[in-house]
Amino acid sequence: MKISTKGRYALRMLVDLAQHDKEEYVALKEIAENQNISKKYLEQIVPILTRGGILSTNRGYQGGYRLSRDASSISCGEVLRLTEGSLSPIVCIDDVTGDVDCDRKADCMTLPLWIGLTKVINKYLNGISIQDIIDEHNNLGGDAYMI
């Protein structure tokens, strides 16, 4: 499983928004500049996050984007499932329900391995919020997430 730029940029965009005043709408141009991401690419991500209930939008003067919920209630797993689809490493496991859709499931000796990996991935990503990313950066300066 590889996370695409869409998923990575969505997380960066949400972290950027979380660092602003919660009542303030931020222009997409400003986020693009802060994160060194193409504004056009962010324009493709915004509708996904808006439909997913993560972003609020406001048009016109003082328009822009802001988080529709507190950053501590937005998990990385939720964001990545919106932008990437399933986080399961194989196609026959639904990463949300854990259901297995495979003709060979009764005979597949490796299925427990994949079910376990899917659970670990979901538990880990669901356990980290946008606020956790900010706090981790502020407290330790970087990459200290542990499984």
20: which 2 tokens? 């602003």
Closest CA to 67 of 8, 6, 19, 4: 19
Q: For 5-86+129-140, CATH number?
A: 1.10.10.10
The pLDDT, as a whole number, for residue 63 is: 83
* Helix, strand or coil, per DSSP, at residue 94: coil
Closest among 19, 22, 15, 23 to 49, alpha carbons compared: 15
Look up residue 22 and give its DSSP letter: T
pLDDT value at residue 145: 58
**What pLDDT sits at residue 16?**
96
The pLDDT of residue 146 is 54
Strands 64-67, 55-58: parallel, antiparallel or unpaired by DSSP?
antiparallel
Query: CA–CA separation, 69 vs 31, rounded Å?
Result: 18
DSSP bridge pairs for 64? 58
Q: For the chain, how far is it from start to end, CA to CA, in angstroms?
A: 17
pLDDT of residue 93: 83
Confidence (pLDDT) at 141: 56
Low-confidence ranges of the chain (pLDDT < 50): 147
Is 11 within 8 Å of 74 (Cβ atoms)?
no
> Could you report the per-residue pLDDT of 74-109, keeping only the tens digit for each?
999 999 999 998 888 888 888 788 788 888 888 889
Task: Name every residue whose Cβ is closer than 8 Å to that of residue 123 and which is 6 or more positions away in sequence.
Answer: none
